[in-house]
Amino acid sequence: MPIQFQFEPIFAESDRIVDGVLLTLGLSFGAIVLGLVLAILLVAAKSLLGRWVGLLVDAYVELMRNTPFLVQLFMLFFGLPLLGIRLPGTEAALLAMTLNLSAYATEIIRAGVDSIHRSQLEAGLSLAMTRRQVFQHVVLMPALARVWPALSSQFVLMLLASSICSFIAVPELSGTAAIIEQNTFRSFETYIVVTIIYLVLALTLKVALDRLGRAIFPRISSVDRLDAKAEAA
């Protein structure tokens, strides 16, 4: 028997799908911006403040990178209320995504920071720059430029992982899909539509981040490319 696809019942719920997409995008953008800022602050703290702060940052990064995202989400949603802090689903999701992403981003940016040669720091200091100035201009920006592709792919992963937030009844795209599937009993069609939407979202985000990277780091990345050429030669 040939499969009879019926997409009409799915498209009849397009309002729900649009809401789901908007929530997925909102959560992802929020987590990317906040997570990146938090990661930069953590790297700065590790680089500029003492050894103990560095250890704390390391502990945080390892804790978040070595526990499942779903467990982190449940801890914030079901666990925090027992301590008297009740975060609604969407806020708990945003916080979990931000914390999770910031840990991965910290580790990626740290790799970029490690790649900056010591002579660069000495050059900066010899030009009478303060330690903060050296960190900002000599270390952080070139480091971000180098690891931007790795950061971008982590951001796309976070967009896809936002689907897990449907477990705490957040009606983002996957949560919406589950509701539509249950209303229409058209599982295959529902998930075909959702798959295409995720694919479009993820590819668009990837291209946008690529463009953004070129816009923010034009000079540095071209210098890097020269460096690479010089090394290859």
Contacts with another protein, residue ranges (CB under 8 A): 77-79, 81-82, 86, 88-89, 167-169, 171, 175, 178-179, 182
Burial, 48: exposed, middle or buried (Cβ in 10 Å; 0-12, 13-18, 19+)?
middle
CB of 185 vs another protein, minimal distance in Å = 10
Instruction: Name the residue nearer to another protein (CB basis): 86 or 211.
Output: 86
CB of 74 to another protein, least distance (A): 9
Q: How far is residue 25's CA from residue 164's CA, in Å, rounded to a whole number?
A: 14
* Cβ-based nearer residue to another protein, 27 or 168: 168
All residues at 6 or more sequence positions from 47 whose CB lies less than 8 Å from its CB, including other chains: 113, 135, 139
Residue with Cβ nearer another protein (124 or 171) = 171
Smallest distance, Å, CB 16 to another protein? 12
Closest CA to 28 of 121, 101, 120: 101
Nearest distance in Å: CB 176, another protein: 10
Cα radius of gyration (the chain): 22
**178 vs 192, beta carbon nearer another protein:** 178
Continuous segment of H or E residues that includes residue 172: none
102 within 8 A of 42, measured Cβ to Cβ: yes
Residue closer to another protein by CB (options 124, 175) is 175
Report, in Å, the least distance between residue 170 CB and another protein.
9
Residue 162 makes CB contacts below 8 A (sequence gap 6+) with 24, 27, 28, 31, 93, 97, 172, 173, 174
